[in-house]
Structure 1
Amino acid sequence: MINRRLYLSAAALLLAGAAPAIAQERPATSERDQIAADFDKDSVTVGIGGAYFPDYEGSKTYRFTPAPVVIGSVKGFAFSVIGDRASLDVIPNRPGQTIDLQLGPVGVVNFDRSSLSSIDDPRIRALGKRGAAIELGGYVGIGKTGVITSKYDKVSVSVSYRKGVSGGHRSDIWEPQFTYLTPVSTKAAVGLYASAQHVGQGYADSYFSITPTQALASGLPTYNAHSGWKSYSAGGFVTYSLTGNLLHGFKVLAGGSYSRELGDFSYSPVTRIAGSPNQWLGAVGLAYTF
């Protein structure tokens, strides 16, 4: 299964496909008015994509896996179920508003290293299997529509907090995130995003520390990782409508991201010897909005 951090990067690519977009080029008035009216209507986007990403967090070998997504807005309440992550914005959006206040619960199932058969490196397999970690928490954020390129582009900033309550770790995770999306026509939109992660000691021990027993089994040296800023990520995405416009019908999605492990996490033998602190991800997908 996709590990949590990389799945979020892939999810960001798919999320772009559900964002309403109104043309910067000037369509006919009736078309522009219709799209503007549809902006505030209920909508749901269902998509399936494929992500090419590292075997585990810090790996230098890669694999391909599907990445499903369902996101939408009903009665002004935005929600998303993206692979192993689910969230709900409990502050409803009002028709025509340009400021989007965001607040709600978030839950993640972290599958990182929960399946040893998906890991090529025998040294990492020898470190042992991690249970799938259930992470629960919430997020708060704010978005602004009409910022840079037109009155329809959007900037969003948020921060989430999750706590591992079972499985692979029982640790804190803080994650600030920035997203920018702008339409380039009624059919296409592009965007950028960036995020970082600060994790607690339990997370560091579970995925990056190596005990003497694990060192004997794997041949990797012992290592004690400490809590702190674990990584940053940055990427871009594009979506293009195949039928109609970005608010209706089928669309294709594509994008990529770069992540860098930081501090103790970059120097862990899991990363520095067996893997790499530089992590890449590519994703393509198909979605339908109705």
Structure 2
Amino acid sequence: MIDRAVGRVRCASLVGVSALLLVAAPSLAQSSGQAPPPPENDDTLTIGAGVGYMPSYEGSDDYVLIPAAAVRGKVAGHNFYSRGTQFYFDAIPEGPGNSLDISLGPVAAVRLNRTRRIKDPQVRALGKLDTAIEVGAFAGIAKTGVITSDYDTLSFRVAYLRDVTDTHDSYVLSPTIEYGTPLSPTTYVGLSLSAERVGDGYARTYFGVTPAGAAASGLPAYTPDGGWKNVSVGLLGSVSLSGDLRKGWALFAVGNYSKLLGDFKRSPVVSVAGNSNQWLGAIGIGYTF
């Protein structure tokens, strides 16, 4: 039986190149109810590393192996975590013993889509793109003890990012629903559902084909509009090697499926040179201090 002091499990996840790769490592916080008093210092840090298998660009049907890393922690009640090339910091401190957590804070990201590892010769002929730096904010709410036990967590989060480097000079809006539960003191499983809505600049930078690009690549010219770009579902599992999910070493495995929609699915870089069905997998190891 899981001790009530174990508390709620959250997952830290890594979204790799093009925000597609999801690599996760679990951490735990204090639960509500009749748990023992929390420790004076509940600061924590989890670091994870692994390898992922994912499309070579967003919309590609060629896959590549990439290294990946993730970090998650809490200092003075403030949670922080990476999601691949994104980094979140929760400006609202989480109090001990709370079963309801409100989060709000800044988020920053580096977008590497089509900056390297382009395997398709037609898309490669369109030329490499510059790295985009995006900044914005996120807000969310999480509830512990909702479905299967006192320890599972259901959360909703929405993030808004804006390019500040004029690479795509547009925005990315991403709502996400996550559910996770420990099956035992050593095993954790989770499910996530998400979507992304992007602006015209994003659509035309990463999915458009200019007349000059059409001449160079042989792909038809194409000018997409912004809108809902994709929907995704992800699964993860983690097993502690130390006998306790709160500390020590843990192994994880992740799978994710994403479906491109609308103008993005119809783009020649997808419909001719790639595929609207996007798959990825990852395995790795993490350590919680």
Tell me the TM-score normalized by structure 2: 0.90
Distance in 1 separating the partners of 2:98 and 2:179? 17
Summarize the alignment of residues 117-196 of structure 1 with structure 2, pairs less than 5 Å apart. Answer: 118-196=117-195
What is the aligned partner in structure 1 of residue 7 from structure 2?
none
Cα pair distance change 1:83/1:197, threshold 3 Å: closer
Distance in 1 separating the partners of 2:102 and 2:211? 48
Distance in 2 separating the partners of 1:222 and 1:39? 61
Identity %: 44
Deviation at 1:4, TM superposition (A): 2.9
Deviation at 1:128, TM superposition (A): 1.1
DSSP 3-state at the match of 1:120: coil
Cα pair distance change 1:264/1:198, threshold 3 Å: same
RMSD of equivalent CA atoms: 2.0
> Residues 38 and 247 of structure 1 are in contact (CA less than 8 Å); yes or no, is this contact kept in structure 2?
no
Cα pair distance change 1:33/1:96, threshold 3 Å: closer
What is the aligned partner in structure 2 of residue 228 from structure 1?
227
Distance in 2 separating the partners of 1:21 and 1:98? 9
> Residues 131 and 168 of structure 1 are in contact (CA less than 8 Å); yes or no, is this contact kept in structure 2?
yes
- 4+ residue segments displaced more than 6 Å: none
Structure 1 regions of 5+ residues with no counterpart? 23-31
> Residues 50 and 68 of structure 2 are in contact (CA less than 8 Å); yes or no, is this contact kept in structure 1?
yes
Deviation at 1:168, TM superposition (A): 2.5
Deviation at 1:19, TM superposition (A): 4.3
What is the aligned partner in structure 2 of residue 287 from structure 1?
286
> Residues 21 and 186 of structure 1 are in contact (CA less than 8 Å); yes or no, is this contact kept in structure 2?
no
What is the aligned partner in structure 1 of residue 17 from structure 2?
3
What is the aligned partner in structure 2 of residue 64 from structure 1?
65
Deviation at 1:20, TM superposition (A): 4.9
What is the aligned partner in structure 2 of residue 49 from structure 1?
50
DSSP 3-state at the match of 1:216: helix
Distance in 2 separating the partners of 1:232 and 1:46? 28
Q: Residue type matched to 1:197 in 2?
A: E
What is the aligned partner in structure 2 of residue 255 from structure 1?
254
Q: Residue type matched to 2:210 in 1?
A: T
Cα pair distance change 1:239/1:192, threshold 3 Å: same
What is the aligned partner in structure 1 of residue 196 from structure 2?
197
Q: Residue type matched to 1:4 in 2?
A: S
Deviation at 1:83, TM superposition (A): 3.9
Per-residue CA deviations over 1:6-34 (Å, capped at 9, x if unaligned) read 03xx1xx41x4234599xxxxxxxxx968
DSSP 3-state at the match of 2:214: helix
Deviation at 1:180, TM superposition (A): 0.4
Cα pair distance change 1:128/1:40, threshold 3 Å: same
Deviation at 1:3, TM superposition (A): 2.6
Per-residue CA deviations over 1:36-90 (Å, capped at 9, x if unaligned) read 8469811100110111100000000101111111111111100013442111001
Distance in 2 separating the partners of 1:191 and 1:40? 27
What is the aligned partner in structure 2 of residue 28 from structure 1?
none
What is the aligned partner in structure 2 of residue 91 from structure 1?
92
> Residues 131 and 167 of structure 1 are in contact (CA less than 8 Å); yes or no, is this contact kept in structure 2?
no
> Residues 142 and 153 of structure 2 are in contact (CA less than 8 Å); yes or no, is this contact kept in structure 1?
yes
DSSP 3-state at the match of 1:4: helix
Q: Does 2:74 match 1:73?
A: yes
> Residues 86 and 109 of structure 2 are in contact (CA less than 8 Å); yes or no, is this contact kept in structure 1?
yes
Q: Residue type matched to 2:132 in 1?
A: A
Distance in 1 separating the partners of 2:247 and 2:44? 9
Distance in 1 separating the partners of 2:40 and 2:150? 13
Cα pair distance change 1:289/1:37, threshold 3 Å: same
Distance in 2 separating the partners of 1:256 and 1:58? 17
Q: Does 2:31 match 1:17?
A: no
Determine which structure has the larger helix proportion and give its number.
1
Determine which structure has the larger strand proportion and give its number.
2
> Residues 39 and 247 of structure 1 are in contact (CA less than 8 Å); yes or no, is this contact kept in structure 2?
no
